[in-house]
């Protein structure tokens, strides 16, 4: 993503068309208009100025009921309800449900284990990552707890995350019993076609990823970001060919502007190519801008949302003034750029998470994850784990139902902010 794209305001990005006038541009505008018309009534009737200043608020109730098979997170029987996630002598520990990824036929676990934390710390940009021997107990614990879906990327620790993912999953289960997701876009080698979403890059990188993963196919092949330097038609046809070659079962996308995603989907539809079935975007109580356009569009078109950073890099798991532990808190340079807008509002939100968690007698992480999972557009959150309780919290959160009053309490302090992370 170019610097100008990152710094553009949401309004200017939504109203802009791609730099080059592609053949699908007019139709993409229609698709983008459809996305805008799917937003809540207040967003449709608002002027650009008021839309930017409005809080997403009730976006969770504006999506179609058919977007998720699970009930909405706000339908608890009474305001004093408590979760029943803790195992008793007569009840087994909770396990994640199996859900469908959006309107697709792909079944995944309702919690996805993110594999970015596992890799060679001497490779790539994640010096806080842990190697295979340290990763093994976490991946095994996740699988034994019922998590069957694992998300990685070619760029994580320069490919070593994919290697660890493939090796550990082979130790645990037959290939058909797990769902393996990976991504393409970021630079993997110097020189031409070493990054981006050109046909040359995609065809090379899918084979490289399959080799590192030690498998013949991935269940979901995702573009890590939008590539402004490659025609959308070229990217979508290449991804379609990857699917038709049997190297990926489905394709998905990650953080970008809603109009860009709408254009890519329309180009696929126009040519009869494989469309995206998922959107992996940043979504949590401290970053809710996706409720304005992306999530209504996804719910309206049957695309499953699988959010990254549902715990806001750990900020939603502890009191605001508490410091994060571990090497990642000090060395995650990308993470340091996130959640720095309106810290007064962020503090109030974190305080609300703490209060609701105390009322439920559970961890703050469970409440923050339960809020994300309760949204209609969301299929499953992606969680990382470098401590055993991270997995336990993620699984337990799938059994927590928040009341309408609790949801309002968690959301009320949110203020608009510039989307970040892409």
Q: Is 221 a catalytic residue?
A: no
* CB neighbour class for 77 (10 Å; exposed up to 12, middle 13-18, buried from 19): exposed
Rounded to the nearest 5°, which phi and psi values hold at 261? Answer: -65, -45
Convert the chain into a string of H (helix), E (strand) and C (coil): CCHHHHHCCHHHHHHCCCCCCCCCHHHHHHHHHHHHHCCCHHHHHCCHHHHHHCCCHHHHHCCCHHHCCCCCCCCCCCCCCCCCCCCECCECCCCCCEEECCCCCCEEECCEEECCCECCCCCCCCCCCECHHHHHHHHHHHHHCCCCEEECCCCHHHHHHHHHHHHHHHHHCCHHHCEEEEEECCCCCCCCCCCCCCHHHHHHHHHHHHHHHCCCCEEEEEECCCCCCCCHHHHHHHHHHHHHCCCEEEEEEECCCHHHHHHHHHHHHHHCCCCEEEEECECECCECHHHCCHHHHHHHHCCEECCECCCCCCCCCCCCCCCCCCCHHHHCCCHHHCCCCCHHHHHHHHHHHHHHHHHHCCCHHHHHHHHHHCCCCECCCEECCCCHHHHHHHHHHCCCCCCHHHHHHHHCCCCCCCCCCC
Among 118, 143, 156, 339, which one carries the catalytic annotation? 156
Residue keyed to tokens 């798991």? 317
Give whole-number Cα distances, 370 to 42, 255, 316, in Å: 26, 22, 12
- Reduce the secondary structure of 206-237 to three states and give it as a string: HHHHHHHHCCCCEEEEEECCCCCCCCHHHHHH
Report the b/e string of 192-225 with b at 16+ CB within 10 A.
eeebbbbbebbbbbbebbbebbebebbbbbbbbb
Tokens of 195: 């990054």
Catalytic annotation, residues: 156
């Amino acid at each position: 993503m170019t610097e100008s794209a990152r710094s553009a305001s949401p309004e200017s990005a939504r109203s802009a068309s791609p730099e080059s006038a592609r053949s699908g541009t007019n139709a993409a505008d229609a698709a983008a208009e459809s996305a805008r018309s799917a937003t809540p009534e207040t967003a449709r009737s608002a002027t650009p100025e008021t839309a930017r200043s409005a809080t997403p608020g009730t976006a969770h109730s504006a999506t179609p009921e058919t977007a998720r098979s699970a009930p909405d997170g706000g339908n608890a029987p009474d305001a004093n309800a408590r979760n029943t996630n803790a195992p008793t002598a007569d009840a087994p520990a909770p396990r994640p449900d199996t859900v469908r990824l959006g309107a697709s036929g792909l079944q995944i676990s309702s919690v996805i284990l993110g594999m970015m934390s596992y890799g060679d710390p001497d490779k790539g940009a994640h010096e806080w990552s842990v190697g295979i021997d340290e990763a093994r107990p976490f991946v095994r614990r996740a699988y034994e707890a019922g998590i069957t879906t694992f998300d990685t990327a070619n760029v994580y620790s320069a490919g070593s995350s994919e290697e660890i993912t493939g090796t550990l999953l082979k130790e645990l289960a037959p290939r058909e019993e797990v769902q393996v997701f990976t991504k393409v876009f970021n630079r993997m080698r110097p020189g031409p076609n070493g990054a981006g979403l050109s046909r040359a890059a995609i065809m090379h990188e899918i084979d490289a990823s399959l080799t590192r993963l030690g498998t013949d196919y991935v269940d979901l092949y995702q573009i890590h970001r939008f590539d402004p330097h490659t025609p959308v038609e070229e990217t979508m046809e290449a991804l379609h060919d990857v699917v038709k070659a049997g190297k990926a079962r489905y394709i998905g996308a990650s953080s970008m502007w809603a109009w860009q995603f709408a254009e890519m989907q329309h180009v696929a539809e126009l040519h009869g190519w494989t469309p995206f079935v998922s959107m992996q975007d940043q979504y949590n109580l401290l970053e809710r801008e996706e409720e304005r356009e992306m999530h209504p569009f996804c719910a309206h078109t049957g695309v499953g949302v699988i959010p990254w950073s549902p715990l806001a890099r750990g900020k939603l798991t502890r009191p605001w003034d508490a410091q994060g532990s571990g090497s990642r808190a000090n060395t995650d340079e990308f993470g340091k750029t996130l959640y720095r807008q309106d810290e007064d509002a962020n503090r109030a939100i974190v305080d609300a998470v703490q209060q609701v968690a105390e009322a439920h007698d559970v961890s703050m992480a469970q409440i923050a994850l339960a809020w994300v999972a309760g949204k209609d557009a969301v299929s499953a959150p992606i969680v990382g784990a470098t401590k055993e309780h991270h997995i336990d919290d993620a699984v337990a959160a799938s059994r927590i139902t928040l009341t309408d009053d609790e949801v309002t309490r968690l959301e009320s302090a949110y203020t608009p902010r510039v989307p970040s992370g892409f």
